[in-house]
Amino acid sequence: MSPNSHGKVPLTVIGGFLGAGKSSYLNGLIHRGIPEQSLIIVNDFGDINIDVELIEYHNDRMLQLSNGCICCTLGGTLAERLAKAMRLHSRPRAIFIETSGIADPARIVDIAKVSARLELAEVVCLVDGGQIMRYQADRFIEETWCAQLHAATRILVNRLPCGEEERLIQRLRDINPTARIENMDRQGAGLMSSRSAAVDTRPRYRIPVAAGGWKSVSLSMHSPIDAKRLQDLLLGFRDVLLRAKGFLHRQDCSSRYLFQLSGERVNWQPASGKSGSCRLVCIGRSGERFDRLVTELQDLARSERPH
Ligand SMILES: Nc1nc2c(ncn2[C@@H]2O[C@H](COP(=O)(O)OP(=O)(O)OP(=O)(O)O)[C@@H](O)[C@H]2O)c(=O)[nH]1
């Protein structure tokens, strides 16, 4: 993938809900090989951009956009960054944008469309198959989630529960009857459902511009943390907490860890070789319960502080 015969630069938008696997997918693309001089733009919803640390692209052509959701508050910034990149002496040969987990990729597609120098390559939507039923049953999440699926030209599903593949894929197909749907868990035979020739009668989804109702907090966690206590606390707030991630020290090990909570799954991964501050980012629905979670996390961080 590199500038086409009209000199336009291909743009790939990588979207999907919180924790769906966007960064992991982008890392896979990078490992398999993307054109040299590709520009990667990573947006995180929150004041610190953990995702930038997760992307294994050791190149100065990586931009981070933090402190807001790319599709609304950062629309202008993104357009400016793209315009600036296209004016560079050595223009990027391809552009990849990883959106925040609550972004509507359609808005980014709109920005790309107004540039005569960009060409939309594809809009990928990652889906955590284990969360499909939960998201569909939750009015707060459903609108965002459906808009993301709806904007996609390709849907990549992972973590599909055994025996439920067909039923869940059909749910996705109902929302977006034209996108190609692939099961990432099945190596080789990934294609579940290809683009159909059916007339697109999909209802139009659009995420409210203000992305209201979402909240992201980032907490300093300087002292080594009791991993079980932290996990139990976070899992106890699963009704309002949609995603948690950060770099932390554990009491039972000496190294720094990348901590991730997505769906009901908790993952600790040694972040060896990486130094830096220890912070935890929590993203969820704003309200009293989310504030309560933040207070309890602050208490936990304080109680872990060495005397
Ligand atoms: N089993 C499995 N786990 C995955 C897959 N993709 C991602 N994960 C796990 O899901 C968690 C979130 O993955 P990320 O790639 O950071 O997800 P994301 O969509 O970039 O997350 P946000 O940017 O926070 O919205 C991590 O713990 C990953 O290891 C997958 O294909 N299979």
The label of the residue with tokens 């972040």 reads: 271
C-alpha angle 297/301/305, rounded to 5°? Answer: 165
Identify whether residues 106 and 143 lie together within a single domain: yes
We report the CATH number of the domain holding residue 290 as 3.30.1220.10
Q: Are residues 174 and 43 in the same domain?
A: yes
User: Which residue's alpha carbon is nearest to atom 6 within ligand 1?
Assistant: 21
**Number of domains the chain is built from:** 2
Question: Of all protein residues, whose CA lies closest to atom 3 belonging to ligand 1?
Answer: 159
Examine residue 175 and state whether it is found in any structural domain, yes or no.
yes
Residue 3 lies in a domain: no
> How many percent of the chain have pLDDT more than 70?
80
Quick one: pLDDT at residue 179?
A: 97
Quick one: 139 and 172 in the same domain? yes
Which pLDDT score, from 0 to 100, does residue 205 have?
46
pLDDT in tens, 52-89: 677 777 767 777 766 555 555 555 677 778 888 887 77
| Residue 206 placed within a domain | no
Q: Which domain holds residue 144?
A: 9-193
Which of 13, 22, 24 should be mutated for ligand 1, with most atoms under 8 A from CB?
Answer: 24
Closest residue by CA, ligand 1 atom 4:
21
Residues 6+ apart with CB under 8 A from 86: 9, 92, 115, 117, 118
Q: Distance, CA 44 to ligand 1 centroid (Å)?
A: 14
Look at the alpha carbons of 170, 175, 181, 185 in this order and tell me if their dihedral is positive or negative: negative
Closest of 15, 41, 176 to residue 103, by C-alpha: 15
Instruction: Say whether both 175 and 232 belong to one domain.
Output: no
Q: d(Cα 229, Cα 234) in Å, to the nearest integer? A: 9
**Which residues partner with 51 through β-bridges?**
none
Q: Which two tokens stand for residue 225?
A: 């943390």
Residues 200-221 have pLDDT tens digits of: 444 444 444 344 688 889 999 8
Complex ipTM: 0.99
| 4 inside domain | no
Query: What pLDDT sits at residue 200?
Result: 44
Query: What gap in Å lies between CA 233 and CA 237, rounded to an integer?
Result: 7
- Same domain for 175 and 222, yes or no, is no
| Contact of 38 with 56, CB cutoff 8 Å | no
